[in-house]
């Protein structure tokens, strides 16, 4: 376990605080997806504007977020970046609640994206640094906390609407929840341990046992030039060298492509789901919010199963099986008639896609051991290309209708199957089952 960058995972309060940050972050995402029909009606938005509302914050926010991971470093600087990001998240949610135009809402969402990267993204990267060789298991727990927050989002909106509130009231409630998580970071986060000698034999042995790159002697590993914690490693020239070195690591580009492909049936689908249920399946806004809740609850159940499944089977095998099921389930969701049958198939699809993000994201970190900040920066860069997804759906919906636009997302499981089947070093790059857990 690396020391000097993040509190040891043995500290339960550190782990719980990290999971609380992810819960609050995904609570905002779950509420936004369910509230989108109400936001569209209130601000009179077109499909194209909705696509821009999803894509512009992603693209501009990713540009702003690019240097955050690699320049934040570790230790005190990283904790300061997390705290600052939390403050901006709170302010952005309040601004969104007060927005009276499309432009004002875009500005609030653009501010939220990089702030969330600092608040939740750097918390995640520290968690990954603290558990080399255990990234899939830790990411499964992280994803479970996020799924719980995402499930609570639509339920929060339903409760606020039932009490006579609006989507603006919901955003103020989100700001309060983010403030509570921020206070947890400020008051409850333990101080990091004293730095251990870089590249210690114990660290090297654990990395080799996990089958990961980055043991002593490899570029970017702890204790090597350009690695985390080395002098000049967090300065601008050193940061650029670390990013270039990271891109050359085996498997890194492939994991980035897989993450963006998978996101089509994860965040992109969730973002348009409520609109699809209202405009295509002819559901009411309340039924659409329930549909989003069904998807997120099923995803939460899937995350619980993934935590157990990663103890019993190889991550690559789990990914391949889930992509195969999704390739059948998603077209079935689009084609089956009636709201309630669609929700049943949607629940199965959400269960099937549950392993995608935690395993792929953990594998990206596993390809860059000791360089979690570089992984955050590269993931932000890849999101610039991924930002075209929501915009494409919005523009296609304007021309051909939302049903045909969402049909294009069926390429996601096909891409995953193609890239996973072409993977030759996957069993070495993916940490396997049987890792000790906190």
pLDDT at 236: 53
* Alpha-carbon separation of residue 392 from 257, 264, 348, 381, 402 (angstroms): 18, 11, 26, 19, 11
* Alpha-carbon separation of residue 338 from 154, 171, 289 (angstroms): 21, 31, 16
Rounded Cα distance between 401 and 54, Å, is: 18
pLDDT at 238: 63
Inside any domain, residue 288: yes
Inside any domain, residue 438: no
Rounded Cα distance between 371 and 5, Å, is: 11
CATH number of the domain to which 52 belongs? 1.20.1250.20
CA dihedral 219, 221, 224, 226 (to 10 degrees): 70
pLDDT at 372: 74
One pLDDT digit (tens) per residue for the chain, 438 residues: 333 344 444 345 667 788 889 999 989 988 887 888 899 889 998 888 888 887 788 777 777 767 766 665 566 777 788 888 999 999 999 999 999 999 999 999 989 988 888 888 888 877 777 666 667 777 888 888 888 888 888 889 989 999 999 999 999 999 999 999 998 888 755 444 444 443 444 433 433 333 343 333 333 333 333 443 443 444 555 667 777 777 778 778 888 889 888 999 998 998 889 889 999 999 887 788 788 888 878 988 998 998 888 878 888 888 999 999 999 999 999 999 989 999 999 999 999 999 998 889 888 888 887 777 788 778 877 877 777 788 888 889 888 889 999 999 999 999 888 887 765 444 444 444 433 333
pLDDT at 128: 74
Inside any domain, residue 427: no
Inside any domain, residue 156: yes
Inside any domain, residue 196: no
Q: How many domains does the chain have?
A: 1
Structural domain harbouring 345: 12-189+212-422
Inside any domain, residue 76: yes
Inside any domain, residue 109: yes
Rounded Cα distance between 121 and 308, Å, is: 24
Inside any domain, residue 30: yes
């Amino acid at each position: 376990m690396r020391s000097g960058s993040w509190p040891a995972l043995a500290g339960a309060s550190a782990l719980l605080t990290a999971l609380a940050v992810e819960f609050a972050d995904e609570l905002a995402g779950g509420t936004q997806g369910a509230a989108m029909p109400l936001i569209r009606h209130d601000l009179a938005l077109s499909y194209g504007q909705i696509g821009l509302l999803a894509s512009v914050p992603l693209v501009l926010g990713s540009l702003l977020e690019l240097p955050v991971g690699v320049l934040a470093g570790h230790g005190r600087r990283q904790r300061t970046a997390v705290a600052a990001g939390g403050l901006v998240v709170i302010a952005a949610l309040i601004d969104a609640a007060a927005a009276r135009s499309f432009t004002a809402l875009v500005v609030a969402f653009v501010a939220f994206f990089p702030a969330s990267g600092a608040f939740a993204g750097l918390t995640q990267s520290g968690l990954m640094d603290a558990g080399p060789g255990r990234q899939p298991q830790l990411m499964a727990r992280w994803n479970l906390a996020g799924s719980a927050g995402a499930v609570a989002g639509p339920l929060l909106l339903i409760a606020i609407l039932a009490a006579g509130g609006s989507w603006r009231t919901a955003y103020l409630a989100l700001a309060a929840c983010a403030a509570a998580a921020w206070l947890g970071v400020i008051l409850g986060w333990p101080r990091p341990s004293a730095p251990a000698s870089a590249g210690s034999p114990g660290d090297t042995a654990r990395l080799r046992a996990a089958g990961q790159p980055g043991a002593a002697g490899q570029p970017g590993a702890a204790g090597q030039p350009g690695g985390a914690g080395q002098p000049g490693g967090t300065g601008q020239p050193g940061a650029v060298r670390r990013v270039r070195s990271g891109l050359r690591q085996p498997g890194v580009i492939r994991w980035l492509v897989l993450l963006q492909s998978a996101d089509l049936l994860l965040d992109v689908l969730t973002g348009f789901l409520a609109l699809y249920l209202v405009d295509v399946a002819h559901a009411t806004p309340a039924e659409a919010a329930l549909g989003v809740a069904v998807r997120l609850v099923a995803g939460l159940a899937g995350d619980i199963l993934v935590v157990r499944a990663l103890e019993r089977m190889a991550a690559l095998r789990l990914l391949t099986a889930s992509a195969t099921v999704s390739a059948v389930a998603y077209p079935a969701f689009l084609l089956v008639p009636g709201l309630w049958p669609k929700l049943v198939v949607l629940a199965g699809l959400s269960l099937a896609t549950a392993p995608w993000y935690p395993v792929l994201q953990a594998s990206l970190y596993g390809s860059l051991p000791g360089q979690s900040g570089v992984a955050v920066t590269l993931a932000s860069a890849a999101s610039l290309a991924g930002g075209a997804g929501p915009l494409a759906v919005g523009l296609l919906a304007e021309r051909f209708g939302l049903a045909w636009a969402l049909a294009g997302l069926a390429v996601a499981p096909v891409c995953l199957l193609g890239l996973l089947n072409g993977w030759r070093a996957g069993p070495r790059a993916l940490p396997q089952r049987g890792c000790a857990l906190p």
